[in-house]
Amino acid sequence: MFGIAKKLKAMGIVGINKRNCELVLPNNPRRLYPLVDDKLRTKNLAGAVGIQVPELYATVETEHDISRVEKMLQNRDEFVIKPVNGSGGKGIIVVVGRHKKNWIKASGDRITIMEIRRHLSNILSGIYSLGGTPDTALIEYRVHSHSIFDRIAYKGVPDVRVILYKGIPVMAMLRLPTRASDGKANLHQGAVGVGVNLITGHSCGAVCKNEMIEHHPDSDEPLLDFQVPFWKDLRLLASRCYELVPLGYLGVDIVIDQAFGPMVLELNARPGLSIQICNQRGLQHAVDWVDRYKEEHNNQIPQDAHIRSELAERLYRDLVPSAEVTETDDKEQPEIADNKP
Amino acid sequence: MKSKHVYVLAGILILIAAVMTYQKIFTLGLPTAPAETTEAWIVEAKLNFEASGKGAKVDLVIPQNPVNFLKLDEDFIASNYNLAIDELADGGRNAQWVVRRAKGLQTLYYRIELVPQLEPSPNYGPEPAFPKKPEYIGPEASAIKSVLDKARDGSFDSATLTRALLQHLDRYRNDEDVALLRKNATDDTEWVKYIQFMLDGVRIPSRMAQYLILKDGAQHEILQPWLEIWNGEQWLSFNPKDGEPGRPTNGLLWQYGETPLITVTGGSNPSVDFSISKRPRGLVSIAKEKSKQEASYLMHLSLFDLPLQLQNVYKLLMVLPLGALVVVFMRVIVGLPTFGVFTPVLIALAFRETNLAVGVALFSLIVAVALTVRFYFERLYLLLVPRVSAVLIVVLITMIAISLISTRMNIHAGLSISLFPLVIITMVVERMSVVWDETGPKNAFKNALGSLFVAAICFWVMQHPLIRHWFFVYPETVLTVLACVLMLGRYSGYRLSEIWRFRHLIKQPDFHNNEQADSAQKK
């Protein structure tokens, strides 16, 4: 037992106590939490500095707004309804198409306008928010998963979680929904987690339900040679989120849209630790690397997100000696249909 | 930095608690275990006299604060008599019963309950004046002189002289001088008085102490005279018979001097009859008594000073921190999932009303029923607060049903359920269904079992008699718990569950090696 703990420590694996004690509590001031918990505020902040986010169609704050929104929705075939203060993906409805007067959900079920009205009403009453406080609903653009993911993502939209420590990307993983996770990109529910090479965006090991795998459990597609498209843009996008919300330990969830490329979906003030399993390395070494860097540079972390994003490469090279090997086949970038919204 | 600060703080808290506990145990003699008892002496003085038919007044000398005993309780039993108690100059007390009209044989009782002191206090009493040298006359004079001279040889202070004198008077009873002197005393009291008379000749201040020797089951005991001399600093006790220094063993100092024990006006034939018995008495009840009598700062911080009703509340509350500590340990070190932070402690409190096995069974049953109904309510799209209230009512109805059924079936465990806290169960149902919805039934059951398991441990800890006793008698132990909680607050190591969670990270290289070894073998 203690032998395992010792080895984990040597690997730099961070446990929950350590995360809370040494990463979250000292680096994440409580007053900034509302910025990440409130999806609307995150979205507005991001939009203000030009960070790409799914377009906001409408917000619903009162029962009265529901009728107004209803008219607006008549012109839309696809959209997502979310509670602003929801957690764990609760209360999210993804509408993917139209069938006569009704809409079709991602699951394939029909949904009527009455059901949508009731759902909005439920969100307002606070059913999905923590502590049952009254909430706001937001209706936004439905992300179309990039076609490169078609064969390795079951139904849902895969996303990339990047962890920033003091603004520098220190670890990243790609989360692929599976049949078992019911299209959700949540590792606890059986989604596949793929560790990502911070330099190139190549996958470096995949995990499903804590087991190392090499192929996607549903499609049997190989996962090990996969490369996340627009990796450098994505990494930069993640780094820029630190300017938005200066939390020292921050998780950024990014989706890659077929039309618009990387988009920030959500920020997280206390990102989980499974990312260490997919990457086969601990966060502690990266955290130490950043702290050392900061000390060597007059206690300063570069203001420029580009420099911070580049620093991730240096960090990765220092921590993962075998990182360079995969850099060679970085030429082939998938095409983007249209990079501007 | 912060960790160091916390550890220093924790250290200080533990130190304070340890010092207070140490003092309570070793200077106040508070018991460390709940069942500890000590022998308490019960002395009963039975007063008899023949009343003349008019008013009567009875004076009885009673002890005040016996030097080597702690007074737990005393009773004065006399119907129709008015009682007045006066303190005497020598430290004793006088109890005076007065009655307007009494005829025939009168019986009054004085009862005192005592326990031996761990550290007897020294003899008290004011510094006496030095006695005048008496004029000894006749053959007595030369005998006293010869005896005192012999005692003076080989003694260097008043204590050794007194001892030598008493020893001489004891050992050489056949000696002419001693025999002559002994003729002057007919009983022990007279003899002590005569010794005092001799000590006056060498100007040693002395006094007579009267002890009641405590023997279990003794009847008709009488007071034993003892000798005390002043050595210039304090009063020293000597056995007047053989000169051994010290108080009599199990001797209860009843009074000083030769004031008659009982004086009756308006009556005749007064007599006092002592009977003595022993009985075990809980140390806690003694400690309570002690807290009243001793003005120790520690006892001001004692819960024994509170009214009994409040004491009972605190008996329960004092162990809650320990329950919280168990939860902290289980979550931070072990990593067991539980609903909320204090739900297990609250469930454990609920178990107090039943017992553990019945408690767990009833709890599971009620939660299962309420959860089922809760899922039905879910489909009605109720708002949060009305929904929780509805669940509360369902829990109540379930409890009523269980009580009714078990009463019909003559199972009494069901009756205690009526005190099974309603709100706690409701909250558990609500939390469980939220977890069920958000992360699936597996997680909900995991959390429920985790909570139940932690609750069982909390229950065991919180109902343990030794622990309950300890926290109530030594409330400062809470500081130690606080220190532990603070230190656990800075624990940044792995949880046991995480070692399990991350185990694949470690086994990976081994796994590959084994595979290679396997394939190599196949070739």
Of the options 3.30.365.10, 3.40.50.300, 3.40.50.20, 3.10.620.30, the CATH number for the domain spanning B138-256: 3.10.620.30
Nearest residue of A to residue B503, measured between CA atoms: A4
Taking residue B187's Cβ as centre, other Cβ atoms within 10 Å add up to 9
**Residue A324: is its pLDDT beyond 60?**
no
DSSP single-letter state for residue B296: -
Question: Please, how many CA atoms are within 13 Å of residue B261, restricted to the half-sphere of its CB?
Answer: 22
Q: What's the domain range around A71?
A: 55-140
Same domain, A66 and A11: no
H/E segment holding residue A76: none
Same domain, A258 and A135: no
Does the residue A257 lie in any domain? yes
DSSP single-letter state for residue A67: H
Domain stops at, among A140, A174, A189: A140
Q: Please check whether residue A203 is in contact with residue A197, taking contact to mean a CB–CB distance below 8 angstroms.
A: yes
pLDDT digits (tens, 9 = 90+) for A16-55: 889 998 899 999 998 998 888 888 888 988 888 889 999 9
Cβ distance A15 to B439 less than 8 Å, yes or no, reads: no
Rounded to the nearest 5°, which phi and psi values hold at B56? -135, 150
Task: Report d(CA A274, CA B49) in Å as an integer.
Answer: 93
Residue with tokens 């590959």: B512
Same domain, A172 and A300: yes
Same domain, A224 and A310: yes
Minimal CA separation from B460 to chain A, in Å? 27
Residue with tokens 């597609």: A221
Does the residue A333 lie in any domain? no
Domain B39-117+271-286 has CATH 2.60.40: yes
Same domain, A25 and A65: no
Same domain, A272 and A177: yes
Same domain, A214 and A301: yes
For residue A332, the model assigns a pLDDT of 47
Residue with tokens 């204090």: B342
- pLDDT by position in tens, chain B (length 523): 677 899 999 999 999 999 988 887 776 667 776 656 677 888 888 888 888 888 888 888 888 777 778 787 788 887 788 888 888 777 788 888 888 888 888 888 888 888 877 666 777 777 888 888 888 888 888 888 888 888 888 788 888 888 888 888 888 888 888 888 888 788 888 888 888 888 888 888 888 888 888 888 777 788 889 998 888 888 888 988 888 888 888 888 888 888 888 888 888 888 888 888 877 776 666 666 666 666 556 666 677 667 667 777 788 888 889 999 999 999 999 988 888 778 888 888 878 777 788 888 888 888 899 989 988 887 887 777 888 889 889 988 988 888 888 878 876 655 555 566 788 888 888 888 878 877 778 888 888 999 999 999 999 998 888 888 888 888 888 999 999 999 998 888 889 888 888 887 776 544 444 444 444 444 3
Same domain, A200 and A314: yes
For residue B518, the model assigns a pLDDT of 43
Helix, strand and coil content of chain B, in percent to the nearest 5, comes to 50, 20, 25
For residue B150, the model assigns a pLDDT of 83
Residue with tokens 């920030």: A264
Task: Report d(CA B129, CA B16) in Å as an integer.
Answer: 47
Task: Report d(CA B353, CA B417) in Å as an integer.
Answer: 7
Nearest beta carbon to residue B499 from set A8, A21, A127: A8
Residue with tokens 């040889």: B153
We report the CATH number of the domain holding residue A61 as 3.30.1490
Dihedral Cα B248, B253, B256, B261, nearest 10 deg: -120
Rounded to the nearest 5°, which phi and psi values hold at B264? -125, 130
Residue whose C-alpha is closest to residue A143's, from A105, A193, A108, A96? A96
Domain stops at, among A122, A140, A158: A140
We report the CATH number of the domain holding residue A153 as 3.30.470.20
The number of domains in chain A is 2
pLDDT digits (tens, 9 = 90+) for A136-154: 999 999 998 888 888 888 7
For residue B522, the model assigns a pLDDT of 40
Cβ contacts of B181 within 8 Å, gap of 6 or more: B140, B143, B144, B147, B169, B194, B198
For residue B402, the model assigns a pLDDT of 83
Same domain, A237 and A210: yes
Same domain, A19 and A156: yes
Does the residue A132 lie in any domain? yes
SS (H, E, C) B262-275: EEEECEEEEEEEEE
Nearest beta carbon to residue B506 from set A7, A22, A90: A7
Same domain, A154 and A292: yes
SS3 label, residue A117: helix
- Letter string b/e over residues A233-248, b meaning 16 or more CB atoms within 10 A of that residue's CB: bbbbbbbbbbebbebb
Same domain, A206 and A299: yes
Read off the pTM.
0.66
Domain boundaries, chain B: 39-117+271-286, 138-256, 313-475
Minimal CA separation from B408 to chain A, in Å? 41
For residue B419, the model assigns a pLDDT of 60
**Residue A193: is its pLDDT beyond 70?**
yes
Give residue A209's pLDDT band: very low, low, confident or very high (50, 70, 90): confident
Task: Report d(CA B287, CA B305) in Å as an integer.
Answer: 11
Minimal CA separation from A259 to chain B, in Å? 31
Task: Report d(CA A237, CA A73) in Å as an integer.
Answer: 30
Task: Report d(CA B29, CA B184) in Å as an integer.
Answer: 47
Strand partners, B41: B114, B278
H/E segment holding residue B455: helix B441-463
- Contact of A10 with chain B, judged by CB distance below 8 Å, is answered with no
